[in-house]
């Protein structure tokens, strides 16, 4: 999935840096991905470490990680994927509010896809409610549905707006495809919490931090994926049809600095490794000033070509701030 801020393309840099931390044996380490997003980083370490702790405050992201990180054994439910793909569409919440028809202007999905998404989401909920599938299969199906919806969404990249006319990709019929995941002999923990609260409850060896860099809130940009994941009922707001969303302190400059310091202070981890780019709301120096008093600090960097929200190609410096923590608080 094309997730804003995804570290998928930076994995070689992140993995090489973390694998070479002094005094760390990855196979014996507990690794926490505190702002997990798409789950790309946790997934890269899933088979390399003793345990992954994965967390994100957004529910749809929790769903992706609950499957990608939390599921560890083969789940043989190909027949359910076939059943879902064969369903007739229904006029449910997604069709009613997010597809264009006589009483609705919004067009995030074609009418046919909106109806199929409703039918698939209702069936997944019903199978789970009736105990025909367990939690592991429920999150497998739901994560797969979210990923498949994203492929046919009529947006430029995020759900802050829909396009005026259906783009070619959005005209294709949705097919729910199984989301891949790594098998593992270990048990991993996946949370859906505010990082500032979870940090008090966990401990380990490596804490990877990838908070939002700028003022754009993930809850606003990905509102529709949360709505499909939650499948609750509410009155969609305004032109975009947004739901109430979580506002992260890491998207506000003054509060971000205080929140980061508080995380660092409370972190019961040997190493803290934080991704941040040169166009974030905190500067390189801000982060250095916050981290340095807590132990031995250094920063490494790489140039990164990425796509902005309007799909334009641009280049940024991506930093990894590395703190070996020696001071408790
Ligand atoms: C830069 S993205 C992480 C990208 C991720 N590393 C990846 O590769 O996909 C930042 C994430 O932080 C999450 N987030 C923002 N504020 C948070 C908070 N207070 N607690 C937990 N997660 C938060 C957002 O929902 C978003 O998924």
Residue 291 falls within a domain, yes or no?
A: yes
CA of 85 to the centre of ligand 1 (A): 31
CA of 217 to the centre of ligand 1 (A): 10
> What confidence score (pLDDT) does residue 315 get?
87
Host domain of residue 158: 72-180+221-245
Structure tokens at 270: 């040997």
pLDDT per residue of the chain (329 residues) written in tens, 0 to 9:
889 999 999 999 999 999 999 999 999 999 999 999 999 999 999 999 999 999 999 999 999 999 999 999 999 999 999 999 999 999 999 999 999 999 999 999 999 999 999 999 999 999 999 999 999 999 999 999 999 999 999 999 999 999 999 999 999 999 999 999 999 999 999 999 999 999 999 999 999 999 999 999 999 999 999 999 999 999 999 999 999 999 999 999 889 999 999 999 999 999 999 999 999 999 999 999 999 999 999 999 999 887 665 666 778 899 999 999 997 76
CB distance 156 to 311 below 8 Å: yes
Query: Are 9 and 47 part of one and the same domain?
Result: yes
Residue 227 falls within a domain, yes or no?
A: yes
Residue 88 falls within a domain, yes or no?
A: yes
CB distance 299 to 319 below 8 Å: yes
For residue 40, the ligand 1 atom closest to its alpha carbon is 8
CA of 317 to the centre of ligand 1 (A): 19
Residue 66 falls within a domain, yes or no?
A: no
Query: Are 174 and 257 part of one and the same domain?
Result: no
Q: 3-state DSSP call for residue 137?
A: helix
State the Cα–Cα distance between residues 191 and 59, nearest whole angstrom.
10
Number of structural domains the chain divides into: 2
> What confidence score (pLDDT) does residue 305 get?
81
CA of 135 to the centre of ligand 1 (A): 23
Query: Are 57 and 144 part of one and the same domain?
Result: no
Residue 7 falls within a domain, yes or no?
A: yes
- Give, as one character, the DSSP assignment of residue 89: P
CB distance 121 to 146 below 8 Å: no
Query: Whose C-alpha lies nearest to ligand 1, atom 19?
Result: 194
Among 37, 39, 53, the mutation site with the greatest number of ligand 1 atoms within 8 A of its Cβ is: 37
Query: Are 138 and 192 part of one and the same domain?
Result: no
Runs of H (alpha helix) within 166-222: 168-171, 195-198, 218-221
CA of 19 to the centre of ligand 1 (A): 22
CB distance 274 to 320 below 8 Å: yes
CA of 32 to the centre of ligand 1 (A): 13
For residue 259, the ligand 1 atom closest to its alpha carbon is 19
State the Cα–Cα distance between residues 61 and 284, nearest whole angstrom.
28
Q: What are phi and psi of 192, to 5 degrees?
A: -125, 70
> By C-alpha distance, which of 243, 70, 230 is closest to 145?
230
Residue 33 falls within a domain, yes or no?
A: yes
Task: Compute the radius of gyration of the chain from its Cα atoms.
Answer: 20
Query: Are 241 and 253 part of one and the same domain?
Result: no
Residue 237 falls within a domain, yes or no?
A: yes
> What confidence score (pLDDT) does residue 183 get?
98
Residue 299 falls within a domain, yes or no?
A: yes
Query: Whose C-alpha lies nearest to ligand 1, atom 7?
Result: 6
Residues 6 or more apart whose CB falls under 8 angstroms from that of 312 comprise none
Query: Are 147 and 82 part of one and the same domain?
Result: yes
Structure tokens at 304: 């990164």
Ligand 1 binding residues, C-beta < 6 A: 3, 5-7, 35-38, 40-41, 55-58, 61, 194-196, 210-212, 218, 248, 250
CB distance 128 to 138 below 8 Å: yes
CATH code, 254: 3.40.50.150
Query: Are 147 and 288 part of one and the same domain?
Result: no
Query: Are 167 and 277 part of one and the same domain?
Result: no
Among 202, 212, 229, the mutation site with the greatest number of ligand 1 atoms within 8 A of its Cβ is: 212
CB distance 18 to 33 below 8 Å: no
CA of 37 to the centre of ligand 1 (A): 5
CB distance 193 to 171 below 8 Å: no
Query: Are 89 and 230 part of one and the same domain?
Result: yes
> What confidence score (pLDDT) does residue 2 get?
87
Q: What are phi and psi of 31, to 5 degrees?
A: -115, 125
Query: Are 146 and 262 part of one and the same domain?
Result: no
Query: Are 39 and 165 part of one and the same domain?
Result: no
CA of 35 to the centre of ligand 1 (A): 4
State the Cα–Cα distance between residues 329 and 323, nearest whole angstrom.
14
Query: Are 98 and 133 part of one and the same domain?
Result: yes
């Amino acid at each position: 999935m094309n997730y804003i801020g995804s570290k998928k393309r930076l994995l070689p840099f992140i993995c090489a840096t973390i694998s070479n931390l002094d005094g760390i044996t990855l196979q014996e380490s507990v690794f926490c991905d505190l702002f997990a997003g798409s789950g790309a980083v946790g997934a890269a370490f899933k088979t390399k470490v003793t345990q992954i702790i994965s967390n994100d405050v957004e529910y749809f992201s929790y769903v992706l990680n609950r499957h990608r990180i939390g599921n560890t054994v083969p789940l043989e439910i190909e027949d359910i994927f076939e059943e879902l793909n064969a369903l007739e569409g229904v006029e449910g919440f997604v069709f009613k509010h997010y597809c264009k028809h006589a009483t609705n202007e919004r067009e995030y999905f074609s009418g046919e896809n909106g109806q199929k998404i409703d039918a698939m989401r209702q069936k997944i909920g019903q199978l789970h409610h009736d105990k025909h599938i367990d939690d592991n299969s429920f999150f497998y199906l739901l994560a797969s549905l979210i990923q498949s919806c994203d492929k046919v969404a009529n947006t430029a990249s995020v759900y802050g707006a829909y396009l005026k006319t259906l783009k070619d990709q959005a005209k294709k019929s949705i097919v729910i495809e199984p989301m891949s995941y790594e098998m593992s002999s270990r048990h991993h923990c996946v949370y859906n919490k505010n990082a500032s609260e979870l940090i008090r409850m966990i401990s380990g060896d490596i804490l990877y931090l990838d908070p939002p860099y700028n003022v754009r809130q993930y809850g606003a940009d990905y509102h529709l994926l949360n709505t499909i994941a939650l499948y609750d009922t509410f009155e969609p707001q305004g032109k975009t049809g947004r739901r109430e969303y979580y506002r992260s302190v890491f998207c506000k400059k003054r509060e971000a600095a205080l929140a980061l310091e508080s995380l660092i202070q409370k972190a019961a981890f040997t190493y803290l490794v934080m991704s941040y780019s040169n166009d974030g709301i905190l500067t390189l120096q801000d982060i250095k000033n916050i981290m340095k008093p807590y132990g031995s600090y250094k920063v490494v960097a790489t140039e990164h070509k990425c796509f902005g929200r309007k799909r334009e190609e641009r280049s940024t410096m991506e930093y990894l701030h590395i703190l070996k923590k020696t001071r408790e608080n």
